[in-house]
């Protein structure tokens, strides 16, 4: 599609004009964290070639998880979260809620995920309590071999003292971006973010006692999941759109 500062559906239409700049969506492994999200847009001419243009495969999941054959036999749950507008507007980001909407619509229209078990949370509705309540509901209702799809597009917090990251909900306590803070103030800012966000390990813990198929997609920076034990979550696939994912 042709590149534009604002997208109103034009990004879904192919451009036949070879003279206009085309969209490059998503960052490469060698970019800074804020440019690694799939929501990041850049532009270049159609005939340009570069070593970090292209696609990268994160992980192959079970081949039938998102097929009609699987859908006919099992219950599906989807929690799609996109936060572009935060409680602290200094941290607003572009396209996160739009991408979440596209993902939600894709699951409904293309893959036939049952609507009553699918939830889209965006911006002010994606609070810590709301997200955790929905995760709890899914974990308490999902049965053996059901399919659970969790998608998050928004900010994430850097690792805490235990090396575990967190997703940042709408109502997290985010600092003011002042350049004149002392060490104590900066430490307190980090503590406030950690305490008001949702640790990735706690998200995994919601599902550690159920035998469902789970797909996590984290489209944010600093998605570091080295605590993830494949032998403990054998039916779990983790996909992250950053080079901080392990």
Note the pLDDT of residue 34: 60
**C-alpha distances out from residue 245 to 1, 4, 155, 169, 222, Å:** 29, 30, 15, 20, 7
pLDDT, tens only, 138-173: 999 988 888 889 999 998 887 888 878 889 999 999
Note the pLDDT of residue 111: 54
Torsional sign, CA 116, 219, 161, 182: negative
What predicted TM-score, i.e. pTM, was given to this entire model? 0.72
Residue-averaged pLDDT of the chain: 76
Low-confidence residues in the chain, pLDDT < 50: 57-63, 68-69, 227, 230, 242-246
Q: 76 by DSSP, 3-state: which?
A: strand
Torsion angle of C-alpha atoms 203, 217, 240, 123, degrees rounded to 10 = -80
């Amino acid at each position: 599609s042709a590149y534009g500062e604002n997208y109103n559906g034009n990004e879904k239409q192919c451009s036949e004009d070879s003279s206009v700049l085309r969209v490059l969506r998503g960052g490469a492994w060698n970019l800074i964290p804020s440019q690694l999200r799939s929501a990041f847009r850049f532009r270049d001419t159609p005939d340009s070639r570069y070593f970090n243009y292209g696609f990268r495969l994160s992980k192959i999941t079970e081949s039938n998880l998102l097929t009609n054959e699987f859908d006919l036999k099992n219950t599906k749950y989807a929690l799609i979260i996109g936060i572009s507008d935060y409680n602290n507007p200094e941290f607003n980001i572009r396209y996160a809620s739009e991408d979440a909407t596209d993902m939600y619509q894709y699951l409904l229209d293309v893959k036939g995920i049952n609507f009553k078990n699918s939830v889209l949370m965006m911006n002010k509705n994606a609070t810590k309590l709301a997200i955790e309540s929905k995760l709890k509901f899914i974990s308490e209702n999902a049965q053996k071999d059901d399919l659970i799809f969790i998608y998050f597009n928004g900010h994430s917090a850097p690792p805490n003292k235990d090396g575990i990251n967190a997703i940042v909900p709408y109502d997290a306590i985010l600092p003011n971006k002042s350049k004149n803070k002392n060490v104590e103030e900066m430490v307190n800012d980090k503590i406030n973010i950690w305490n008001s966000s949702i640790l990735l390990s706690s998200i995994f813990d919601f599902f550690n006692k159920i035998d469902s198929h789970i797909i996590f997609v984290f489209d944010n920076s600093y998605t570091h999941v080295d605590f993830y034990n494949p032998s403990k979550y054998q039916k779990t696939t983790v996909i992250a759109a950053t080079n901080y994912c392990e």
